[in-house]
Amino acid sequence: MGSNGKHAVERYAVVTGANKGIGLETVRQLASQGVTVVLTARNEKRGKEAMLKLNESGMSNVVFHQLDVLDPVSINSLANFIQEKFGKLDILVNNAGASAVVVDMEGLKALNIDPSSWFSGQADNLVQLQAVVKTTYEKAEECLNTNYYGVRRVTEALLPLLQLSPAGARIVNLSSRWSQLKRIPGDLIRKELSDVETLTEERIEVVIRRFLHDLKENALEGNGWPLTVPAYGMSKVTLNAYTRILAKKFPNMCINCVHPGYVKTDINWNTGTMSVEEGARGPVMLALLPDGGPTGCYFDRTEVAEF
């Protein structure tokens, strides 16, 4: 500690969806670097259990607060807790997510498709996949509400506290390989979501409404939308676009999105090839970026990549 006392260097972080997987490991790695971390989870029991395990392993700088990214009351409760307990926030890692897909695992096996090849976003036989990997309208709405609107709600509620971070806050949005613009067949949609100069939250909302309308009308293919895990992919494409908007609005912060790698977690039915320790490396690196670090970028693990 410097001569200015403890509070001059104390850093505070929030990690969403952190009772397991990459979220929990991100909490562990940040706490091991001396950051005070608020571990959040929708399920209070599971979240508290995760916190207690870390506390028992010697990490007294991890606290728990319930957070449901779909519930504005829950989000405001978290913001009030941070305001009262810490008075500022230095790091926000938006990790909570939903997949939106219903997978026929037997069908996958019958087609002789290795689940890991498409969960990782690398499968070639995507036409066959559409028969066994389905997205319902309800699941798509839930996915976009969590992965895009949920991140927006949490970030907007915590921005006043993030703006109080003396060195400029760090915001890290967990993305996916499915977020890459090259996966969208439609040129117009790609252009709309890649033009940083004209991107706004309102434009993103228009794109999302069009996507949901076309999904409902069974018109994805004819209108240039991705056909494999379409809702999950679009939720992450729009999240990346939102990341770039935020980075432009708040140039004193480092705001980035990251594909953590193909990590063994619940969202891919534990078919991943990387450990959570490896998967958390990118998010943690971005959460702890030195001043003047990159902002408005997409990272594939720890390297800058194309949106």
Query: What distance in Å separates the CA atoms of residue 102 and residue 78, rounded to the nearest whole number?
Result: 32
Establish whether 298 is a catalytic residue.
no
Residues 6+ apart with CB under 8 A from 239: 147, 148, 151, 173, 175, 179, 257
Q: What is the DSSP letter of 263?
A: B
Q: Is the dihedral of CA 205, 90, 64, 275 positive or negative?
A: positive
Contact 91, 169 (CB under 8 A): yes
Query: What distance in Å separates the CA atoms of residue 235 and residue 124, rounded to the nearest whole number?
Result: 22
Q: Which of 148, 149, 232, 242 is catalytic?
A: 232
DSSP-assigned letters across all residues of 173-224: EE--GGG-GGG---HHHHHHHH-TTT--HHHHHHHHHHHHHHHHTT-TGGGT
Query: What distance in Å separates the CA atoms of residue 173 and residue 171, rounded to the nearest whole number?
Result: 7
Residue 169 has phi, psi (to 5 degrees) of -70, 165
Q: Which residue has the tokens 């390989």?
A: 177
Contact 155, 82 (CB under 8 A): no
Q: What is the DSSP letter of 294?
A: -
CB atoms closer than 10 angstroms to residue 3: 5
Residues assigned a catalytic role: 232
